[in-house]
Structure 1
Amino acid sequence: MSLNKNKFFFFFSFFTLLILNIQAQEEEQKDSILTQDLNEVVVTATRTVRQLSSLPLPVTLIPQSQLEQTGVTRLNEILAEQTGIIMTADATVGGGEGVQIQGIASDYVLVLIDGVPVVGRSSGNLDLSRFAIGNIKQIEVVKGPSSSLFGSEALGGVINIITEKPSSEKISGQLSHQISTFNNHNSNLSFNQRKKKFGYSLFVDRLSTDGFDLTSSDNSQTVNAFSNYTVNGRLFFEPSKKISVFASGRYFYQDFDIAPSTSTEQDANALIRIDHNASPKTNLQYELYYTNYITDEEAIDLNTDTILLANDFNQKLFRPEVRLNQKFGAHNLLTIGVGLNFETLERTLFADNVSFESQYGYIQYDFKPLSKLNVILGGRFDNHSEYNSQLSPKLSARYQLSPDVAIKGSVGSGFKAPDFRQLYLDFTNASGGGYSVFGKEVELAGIQRLQENNEIANLAVDTSELGERLNAESSVGYNFGLQLKKGSFTTDLNVFRNAFKNLIDTRILAAKTNGQNVFGYINRESVYTQGIEAELKYNGFKSLNLIGGYQLLFAYDKNKQDEIENGEVFARDPATLETVRLESNQYFGLENRSRHTFNFKAFYKIPAWNANANLRVIYRSKFGLTDRNGNTILDDFDNSFVKGYALMNFSFGKTFFKHYQLQFGANNLLNFKGSNPLASQDSEVLINPGIQLFTRLNIQF
């Protein structure tokens, strides 16, 4: 483990002793923060309101209280602390973090805001750091295939950001400002009001930073200075008891300080949703949604003022949808939905503008054939203008063995064709340190162009592999879980397996002379991820809540396993310099997957001080970045492994005069920096920029 163990245990022990000592002196009081709440409900897993504890699917719920106590400001920061979720930079450090769930890459995880999708995967990931969380009510994460409700982009899971709904007749809200390391400033203002049949809310957020550098050997920064703004407004109207209207608009703008080059990003969306309760058993929902994501990048040579790269990206999605929820008795609910997708993409890096449309319909029946058995059966059909029609069925069930024990399981399938980015992208990021991403159809020409410009330090793949055909993919996902509630303990155990055919994954094609990498796409002919997730919650202390989570993950290319078993794969032993036949136990698995991940969270409320404190620890075991010895797999002889490491985050907040809260803390408290194994011998590239201190003032009104 690449961290100072003495420091780790010192901070851990000190914090534990401190909170237990204070807890022993305070009066008997039950902490409301993170206590198991039987009324916690989620909407993403079934598209209907369901109690969290009754769902037959693996779901993570992050409540507003946890967001406020941790002091995080962006979506990627809070997701990184959850069980079975890994933040990965598929397009190198600084390229924007995406999310990996159950070993499945971010391309297959659908991100929603209030139930509708966001777009903008211009450089590989949907960068989750662009989503401010100051006005969020809760975050719901559904693990495993969800294509039966949300389509092909949800093969690996769904993340739904649910914004807060106004409830007070008086104007209420908050104003806050946070200062942290790297001259990072985050300010936001939110207010809302509910007046009889009408309600509204407004959220404004600004973030700016000087960025940071992970490579000391060059003059450029890994993440350049930038500023961004988020504005989100929502309206609620209930003209009658049977009809309610919700309308929202969101606008995001980001500008990197890289003059004379430019890099800007815009994200706008608008939604109107009408709920019609035609009868006590019949509900109709009419939804109209539009979103537009735009980037404008221009890289200019400082010496010659020559334009090195011009990259404009303009993606639009328009989607109408109608849903019917029909109750049959107290526990049976039928959901039917139909909709249309119209999408266009204009991009400088594509030879032509592209567009497509699709029609889809889905049906789901949520019923209880027995008093202790809940079954959800559903499926979705997509008819795409460019690809073959696809059917995505799913079956889930939960059985209550006893008042304390329940078992649950699900199986679902899906289909996903390569998108235009994976085929035709030709991208070099001027703002993120100069990494490149090439689609399969253009990667050979892209590599040759970089070689001609002397920008390639070494190739990670054989040139014969460049430009090979990229095929469509399909998958089947299985989840089987056990839930135990006994007194103050809640335990969730989930065993999962996701089997892919022709999985489209990212890989490193080459290392560049500036310390960055060139990324491309590859089919894994037969790939699977499988493992175990376990989470334990304990709220038996008066004001202390403990949460621990662990994931064991195996992610392999099945065809490569067969080749190894047949004695067809060889590697060079760096110790003896001899070529040896590879054994099965020497095959590590797919890139960027850790065998073990662990998280621990302790939330403590100190009533005597009107304060709260929390400690969060994340551990990730070693993982490999790419094959370096030429046998096309990641094995124990490769020298591209990042050593296991832990990050410790801490925050403390105290409220003054009821409406003023001062908070301070540290992310990466142990100042872990690490080392990127792909760096050249005469340079060092870090994994993490180090400790990040912050303080925040929040005023409620």
Structure 2
Amino acid sequence: MNFLFFFMALLAVQLLAAQSRWIAGRVVQKGNSTAIPMATIACENGKLSVLSGPSGQFRIQLPDTTAQLIVSAVGYKNIAVPINSDSLIIELQPNLREMDEVVITGTMRAVQRSASPVPVEVYNQSFFRKNPTPSIFESLQLVNGVRPQLNCNVCNTGDIHINGLEGPYTMVLIDGMPIVSSLASVYGLQGIPNALVERIEIVKGPASSLYGSEAIGGLINVITRQPGKAPLISFEYSGSSWREHNFDLGMRLANRRKSQTLLGVNYFNFTHRYDKNLDNFTDVTLQNRVSLFGKTSFTRKFSRLAALAMRFIAEDRFGGEMQWTREFRATDSVYGEQISTTRGELIGNYQLPLIEKINFLFSANFHRQRSAYGKNLFNADQRIGFAEFTWEKKMGDEHQLLSGIVGRYTAYDDNTPATAGPNGSGNRPDNIFLPGIFLQDEITLNKRHLLLTGLRYDYDKRHGNIFTPRVAWKWSFSDMDYLRINAGSGFRVVNLFTEDHAALTGARKVEIKGNLKPEKSYNLNINYTRKLIFSKGYMNVEASGWYTYFSNRILPDYQTDPDKIIYANLDGFARSVGTSLNVEAAFKRLRFTAGFTLQDVSLATKNKSGETERYRQLLTEQWSGTWTLSYTVGNSGWSADYTGNIYGPMLLPLVSNLDPRSPVSPVWTIQNLQLTKKGKGMWEWFGGVKNLLNFTPLANNPFIIARAHDPFDKQVVRDSNGQVIPTTENPYALSFDPNYVYAPNQGRKFFIGFRYAINRKAGVE
């Protein structure tokens, strides 16, 4: 009897197995075979479905009776695919009216990119995978008009330049929420696993009418994936010939359909010392960084929004003399710069249970930095709380209103003159509350013309009332070409807590001249976009021109005294004017992007005679270009990416009139090559070479770091005014200075890595 039961059970299992089979394949764009990630592949009755992976791959188990699959993706036409093989290549046709990405950054509302009166550039995950990097900060080097700038040869601190404007003028957001901190341009773009990033939106130009202080030059908004659309599990590893290691891990968790959670871990390790330019200093800063990221979205009635996200970053960095160890920290025996950073962030949004669409958004972060720059210690603590209520209201068919009230509290303390008491004595931490209100009206004049107006009011007890107006106009000539004209203003309240390495190294002392006033900017931007559709591909062309005028600009003066940085408001004005061109195209298996920017960033101030003098801003290129070129080799799974950027000459900071280093950088370029192989299942392998031409700033220079052999200036001779004078030992009248930097010191390197993802919906293998 037991044998009969066992036999019948075995037969039932065999019959069930015979009634189903596995179907695998890839989803690509028709005409150019570009992979389409996150496409939904469902059986015809809709009960079973999976999502395609990063390379468009999928695998699904279906009953034998299933005759076809239903395949859909945002921006593409849905199709029914007959199952005539166990391995399918599914081609989707773009839907021109739906292929525009949904963006939120320009107007703080979710709209299609083509419908936004504010030009927003969108870069998705596949774009950045053409040149994989350990952080978003580095990956932005492929974006036209955006440049990650290194500020120090020793600790490799940096910031993001947008249209030539420096890091403090760029606001970083995560999922539309400001990560309000002057260090955000560095730490706001590190530590989020790449697999959890859906896209990055960039707005070039002031946006203070919506986002307030720091949004004076541009915005970078990192949009993470919705937990329900993220891979079940994703893993990525990459390593390089410089012994760098980067790990990304992401996973999705569900809680009885009430909530879904996205978890991510990023770990970057580079701890091997290199001194290829033989100056006894590390060429690249050692880093040991771990970041944890979590995001939960809650299911509510009427699709109301509710989400909570958290991020924690801990990092230890070191750069300096090759023989440095921790016993030399904050001593004058062996020079080293060691920075320990701990940062935590909490971000949330909640739509109130009301008929009106009222959202409550909030964020909080703490930042703790414990650093030693040579013999000087820099200890800083910052805590920021941010809250905002927004109300969206549609008035008839013509008006779409958005209003809000906002408050930001900043508590900051450090051991520098930035928080010193009167006459430099004692300690006076900053505790600033910055409230504001804003109103925006998006007016549909007719089907071709859209007008946006906005006004924001902020109050700072140090600076008084601050008004920032904005106006934008969009003219749709057709469904394929648009003209946008934007005008507005921005502001930035005084905050010297930036990772300005030169201010912290101890190589220079900080001096604040007078009572600093808030910076203000006024901007005019013209943007034209044209889409061209061909039988075998498409091309998007976007051209922009801008003019930005700054008053009260806060500038560090490195020239008056080589041992000081003097902060003061500019007695004059600054301006940024330029044009840019972006082209994106795809033809069959070939896809490319190209961008070119021409700009002039200058300052005008009065000399001792009262005459106005104009000069170029340091470390700012007058022109630059970027490109990506990708080719897919048939259905073999192989693809190649050739990427790069090129920069025109920049003015560089010299220590003295006798400094033998070049005062102007050469034209320089970083070029990269990558090969990718899509393996069976969800595996993907990639590898290649970065900095093909092996360029470093040492080219055509006798040295990079001034007086690397005497970093504590023990042999430097000065006159009665403290000025360095030339001697036999120091013929160029130099003092130690590591700030002559405009390009990475890391030369050519090879890299290899792999990715793996499981993409499925609940209950489906």
For Structure 1 versus Structure 2, the TM-score category normalised by the shorter chain is 0.7 to 0.9
Pick closer, same or farther for the CA change 1:672–1:298 going to 2, 3 Å: closer
- The alignment status of 1:535 with 2:582, answered yes or no, reads yes
Q: Which of 433, 440, 444 is the aligned partner of 2:511?
A: 440
For 1:296 and 1:249, how far apart are their aligned partners in 2? 22
Aligned equivalent of 1:415: 491
Pick closer, same or farther for the CA change 1:215–1:679 going to 2, 3 Å: farther
For 2:217 and 2:182, how far apart are their aligned partners in 1? 16
Aligned equivalent of 1:391: 467
TM-fit CA distance, 1:490: 1.3
- The alignment status of 1:644 with 2:662, answered yes or no, reads no
- The alignment status of 1:614 with 2:641, answered yes or no, reads yes
- Paired amino acid for 1:183: R
Pick closer, same or farther for the CA change 1:402–1:175 going to 2, 3 Å: closer
Pick closer, same or farther for the CA change 1:639–1:205 going to 2, 3 Å: closer
- Which of 80-89 and 226-235 deviates more? 80-89
- Paired amino acid for 1:117: P
Pick closer, same or farther for the CA change 1:421–1:403 going to 2, 3 Å: closer
Map 1:317-466; keep pairs closer than 5 Å.
317-330=384-397, 332-349=399-416, 350-351=419-420, 352=427, 353-421=429-497, 434=505, 436=507, 438-441=509-512
For 1:82 and 1:425, how far apart are their aligned partners in 2? 23
Aligned equivalent of 2:530: 484
For 2:516 and 2:205, how far apart are their aligned partners in 1? 24
CA contact under 8 A between 1:140 and 1:159: conserved in structure 2? Answer: yes
Aligned equivalent of 2:49: none
TM-fit CA distance, 1:378: 0.8
TM-fit CA distance, 1:44: 0.9
**Coordinate RMSD, CA, aligned:** 3.4
Q: Which of 722, 746, 754 is the aligned partner of 1:689?
A: 746
Q: Percent identity?
A: 18
Map 1:486-635; keep pairs closer than 5 Å.
486-487=532-533, 488-509=538-559, 519-524=565-570, 525-539=572-586, 541-559=587-605, 589-626=616-653
TM-fit CA distance, 1:315: 0.4
TM-fit CA distance, 1:387: 2.1
Secondary structure at the counterpart of residue 228 of structure 2: coil
For 1:468 and 1:384, how far apart are their aligned partners in 2? 18
Pick closer, same or farther for the CA change 1:126–1:436 going to 2, 3 Å: farther
- The alignment status of 1:74 with 2:135, answered yes or no, reads yes
- The alignment status of 1:59 with 2:116, answered yes or no, reads no
Pick closer, same or farther for the CA change 1:672–1:474 going to 2, 3 Å: same
TM-fit CA distance, 1:256: 2.9
For 2:502 and 2:145, how far apart are their aligned partners in 1? 30
Secondary structure at the counterpart of residue 223 of structure 2: strand
Superimposed CA distance per residue, residues 363-382 of structure 1 (whole angstroms, 9 cap, x where no aligned partner)? 11112112101111111111
Aligned equivalent of 1:305: none
CA contact under 8 A between 2:33 and 2:632: conserved in structure 1? Answer: no
CA contact under 8 A between 2:164 and 2:599: conserved in structure 1? Answer: yes
Secondary structure at the counterpart of residue 533 of structure 1: strand
Secondary structure at the counterpart of residue 658 of structure 1: coil
Unmatched segments (≥5 aa) in structure 1 = 1-25, 301-307, 442-466, 570-586, 631-636
Q: Which of 640, 647, 657 is the aligned partner of 2:680?
A: 657
- Paired amino acid for 1:109: T
Pick closer, same or farther for the CA change 1:293–1:538 going to 2, 3 Å: same
Pick closer, same or farther for the CA change 1:508–1:268 going to 2, 3 Å: same
Aligned equivalent of 1:698: 755
Aligned equivalent of 1:289: 363
Q: Which of 200, 205, 219 is the aligned partner of 1:158?
A: 219
- The alignment status of 1:130 with 2:190, answered yes or no, reads yes
Superimposed CA distance per residue, residues 540-587 of structure 1 (whole angstroms, 9 cap, x where no aligned partner)? x112211110100012223469999x7x87xxxxxxxxxxxxxxxxx7
Pick closer, same or farther for the CA change 1:550–1:427 going to 2, 3 Å: closer
Pick closer, same or farther for the CA change 1:556–1:638 going to 2, 3 Å: farther
Superimposed CA distance per residue, residues 612-656 of structure 1 (whole angstroms, 9 cap, x where no aligned partner)? 3211120001100237787xxxxxx99411111011022221121
Superimposed CA distance per residue, residues 221-263 of structure 1 (whole angstroms, 9 cap, x where no aligned partner)? 2544221101001111123125331011110001235523353
Secondary structure at the counterpart of residue 269 of structure 1: strand
Bigger Rg over Cα: 2
- TM-score normalised by length of structure 2: 0.73
- Which of 138-147 and 467-476 deviates more? 467-476
TM-fit CA distance, 1:497: 0.4
For 1:92 and 1:469, how far apart are their aligned partners in 2? 32
- Paired amino acid for 1:602: L
Pick closer, same or farther for the CA change 1:689–1:664 going to 2, 3 Å: same
CA contact under 8 A between 2:653 and 2:663: conserved in structure 1? Answer: yes
Pick closer, same or farther for the CA change 1:90–1:523 going to 2, 3 Å: farther
Pick closer, same or farther for the CA change 1:64–1:561 going to 2, 3 Å: farther
Aligned equivalent of 2:299: 238
TM-fit CA distance, 1:92: 5.5
- Paired amino acid for 1:163: T
For 2:644 and 2:453, how far apart are their aligned partners in 1? 38
CA contact under 8 A between 2:472 and 2:485: conserved in structure 1? Answer: yes
For 2:181 and 2:105, how far apart are their aligned partners in 1? 21
For 2:304 and 2:345, how far apart are their aligned partners in 1? 23
Pick closer, same or farther for the CA change 1:366–1:384 going to 2, 3 Å: same
- Paired amino acid for 1:504: I
- Paired amino acid for 1:66: F
Pick closer, same or farther for the CA change 1:563–1:53 going to 2, 3 Å: farther
Aligned equivalent of 1:185: 245
For 2:698 and 2:383, how far apart are their aligned partners in 1? 39
For 1:495 and 1:561, how far apart are their aligned partners in 2? 31
For 1:166 and 1:128, how far apart are their aligned partners in 2? 20
For 2:706 and 2:373, how far apart are their aligned partners in 1? 25
Pick closer, same or farther for the CA change 1:625–1:427 going to 2, 3 Å: closer
Aligned equivalent of 2:342: 266
Pick closer, same or farther for the CA change 1:199–1:327 going to 2, 3 Å: same
CA contact under 8 A between 1:97 and 1:128: conserved in structure 2? Answer: no
Secondary structure at the counterpart of residue 139 of structure 2: helix
Aligned equivalent of 2:334: none
Secondary structure at the counterpart of residue 206 of structure 1: strand
- The alignment status of 1:167 with 2:228, answered yes or no, reads yes
Pick closer, same or farther for the CA change 1:212–1:163 going to 2, 3 Å: farther
For 2:463 and 2:515, how far apart are their aligned partners in 1? 16
- Paired amino acid for 1:440: E
Superimposed CA distance per residue, residues 69-117 of structure 1 (whole angstroms, 9 cap, x where no aligned partner)? 4322211222111111122234556442211112211111101112222
Pick closer, same or farther for the CA change 1:680–1:68 going to 2, 3 Å: closer
TM-fit CA distance, 1:67: 2.5
Pick closer, same or farther for the CA change 1:377–1:299 going to 2, 3 Å: closer
- Paired amino acid for 2:449: L
- The alignment status of 1:101 with 2:162, answered yes or no, reads yes
TM-fit CA distance, 1:390: 0.3
- Paired amino acid for 2:351: D
Q: Which of 283, 287, 291 is the aligned partner of 1:226?
A: 287
- Paired amino acid for 2:399: N
For 2:275 and 2:508, how far apart are their aligned partners in 1? 20
Superimposed CA distance per residue, residues 476-513 of structure 1 (whole angstroms, 9 cap, x where no aligned partner)? 0110111112222211111100001121234534898x
- TM-score normalised by length of structure 1: 0.79
- Which of 30-39 and 654-663 deviates more? 30-39
Q: Which of 674, 686, 692 is the aligned partner of 1:669?
A: 692
CA contact under 8 A between 2:272 and 2:286: conserved in structure 1? Answer: yes
